[in-house]
A = this chain, B = another copy of it.
Amino acid sequence: MYIVIMAGGSGTRFWPMSRASYPKQFLTIVGDKPMVTATYDRVRKMTSADRVVFVVGEVHREETERLFAAEGAHILVEPKGRNTAPCIGAAAGFIDRLGGGDEPVVILPADHYIARPDVFREALVRASDVALGGGIATLGIVPTRPETGYGYIECESSPVQSEGVLRARRFVEKPDFEKAATYLQQGGYYWNAGIFVATPKVLLEEFAAHMPGFHAGLTALAPTCGAPGFSAAMRELYEGAESISFDYAIMEKTSRPLYVIPCDCGWSDVGSWYSLYEVRKNAEQDKSGNVVEGEALLHECRDSFVISRGKRLVAALGLEGVLVVDAEDALLVADLRRSQEVKQITEMLKEMGLKKLL
């Protein structure tokens, strides 16, 4: 089995901790290691290190090499970020060239949290079985709340092939609250975690059918794999590549049956400070629902999230549902439930020309 860890993103959702040059997947924000390392460790026991491929941007090549080169893992550098379709296409071509064309490839983002890794791995093994048979499988996370921040996969009501494998009916965009509540109550809807399993051969056939121009580029690139011309060929490939997600480009268009492996593994995409708070709360909250990291002093606070990494004491008094993130050169204080709006702050910084803080 091959594993592709997509670590190319460059978000600022965790500003002021995440920066353009130091995005979420390289941060240690839950547990004691960077998310990308936790992701690697989680799947590492399913295969050998030389069957793991990291896909990263040029700015993170060095950090990724530092973390994983000694392991023997592969590092595939994207010349620029073009969303997940080109990323997955390039990885499929790369693994095909390594001789893994008929092996299942698990494709997963580097920056998700999984509370129950055993359950997660079991689901990936099931998905690999499906992929071996020529199908495309995706994990369907069993929803636990009427979440409006995730896309959903609606499934056929009866299992196919075998117990625990469903057939996808359609992909559903992020719903409003009412719809999300209906999905939860009705059943048959799963969160789309963006975790896919298929063989490179199948993936490349799909690219040939739905992104033929990009597929032609992949074919032209193939002979340069592991050769001096590879970087230049990748640059050329990405120059002409459309920025599009794998969901849109392939999953929603394929005529192949799509299989869903329902999975109740305590998954979170950790997409905001609030989401991180929810993840860490389970293990770390004090009796008033606060999560505190670093040198901090709380007096009569509730449901708050305080992170002190600025080498200074943080004192919090009478707060309710407040987020405090004290970094070396910037401080964020926010309504914890509105923490996804941190984007507004980074936009303002951009407008003000405060690039050093981004």
Contact = CB atoms under 8 A, between A and B. Distances in A.
Given A318-B335, A319-B335, A345 B310 contact: no
Given A297-B349, A345-B299, A16 B315 contact: yes
Contact of A333 (B15, B314, B328): B314
A322 interface: yes
Interface string A1-36: 000000000000001100000000000000000000
Contacts of A334: 315-319
A331 interface: yes
Q: How many copies of this chain? A: 2
B344 A330 contact: no
Indicate the member of A326, A333, A334, A344 with the most B CB atoms within 10 Å. A333
A331 B308 CA distance: 10
A316 to B, nearest CB: 5
A85 interface: no
A314 to B, nearest CB: 5
A249 interface: no
A331 B319 contact: no
Interface in A136-152: none
A67 interface: no
A331 B331 contact: yes
Indicate the member of A318, A332, A341 with the most B CB atoms within 10 Å. A318
A357 interface: yes
A348 interface: yes
Contacts of A324: 331, 333
A299 B333 CA distance: 11
Contacts of A352: 297
A317 B299 contact: no
Given A313-B331, A313-B349, A315-B330, 8 more contacts: A299-B345, A300-B344, A308-B331, A312-B328, A317-B334, A317-B335, A317-B338, A318-B338
Interface of A: 15-16, 297, 299-300, 306, 308, 310, 312-320, 322, 324, 326, 328-335, 338-339, 341-342, 344-345, 348-349, 352, 354, 357
